[in-house]
Amino acid sequence: MANPLNRPAMKTILVVDDEPKIVQLARDYLEHASYAVRTAGDGPTALAACRAFKPDLVVLDLGLPGMDGLDVTRTLRRESSVPIIMLTARGEETDKLVGLELGADDYITKPFSPKELVARVRAVLRRLDASRENVGAETIRAADVTLDVPRMRATIADREIVLTPTEFQLLATLAREPGRIFTRAQLLDAVRGVAFESYERAIDAHVKNIRRKIEPNPREPRYILMVYGVGYKFADR
């Protein structure tokens, strides 16, 4: 049935955490920000909810009982490119890097401000919407990489590659200007919202993940090249 007022459809956020107080707090603030919210308290329930309800974004705690958030992320990334924001009480840098390398779009560390959570959700969804709607019919071609920007579809030599919204935006930024060297700070700015605290190693994690998907040999990259001491560039040959 058509929306008689032409209002955009309400986006659905799945909040996954085994702490009821955190779930309720996140629900309250997200619903106040005009999102529909579904919840899950463990990994298997989260996967079932994703398959059944197709949320627009998942807020996912890493420290879940039974099946932790990293395993949930691995499974989701085999099935979809739904944006994922990780929640973690762990202070170790390794946990954040592993989550980002698995395909999470952003992270937020507990204890967190619920207003910051809403801001992160908005930023990731805004990035996704911008990629889909605000660039006309742009197609980017560099080497044998083709990026259909409105549809967020990537192909390498006619082989389709599934990228997360953040990965797609990062690859598009590099591929638009082959040979240009981008600093990590410039790439963080380009993808608008990955690790607000300028956690520049997040870029390294995303690049590693993209390479794993697009490079014939990720250890000897053909497309995304590191410029030591500066950042990255898309090969201009």
Q: Which parts of the chain sit beneath pLDDT 50?
A: 1-2, 134-135, 194-198
The per-residue pLDDT for 90 is 62
Residue ranges, comma separated, of all CATH 3.40.50.2300 domains in the chain are: 12-131
The per-residue pLDDT for 11 is 92
Considering the domain 135-234 in this protein, what is its CATH number? 1.10.10.10
Q: How far, in Å, CA of 82 to CA of 175, rounded?
A: 23
Residue ranges, comma separated, of all CATH 1.10.10.10 domains in the chain are: 135-234
Q: Does domain 12-131 have CATH number 2.130.10.10?
A: no
The per-residue pLDDT for 117 is 92
Q: What are the pLDDT digits (tens) for 70-89?
A: 899 989 988 888 999 988 87
Torsion of CA 169, 123, 132, 87, to 10 degrees: 70
The per-residue pLDDT for 58 is 96
Whether 179 contacts 142, CB under 8 Å: no
The per-residue pLDDT for 197 is 47
The per-residue pLDDT for 196 is 46
The per-residue pLDDT for 210 is 92
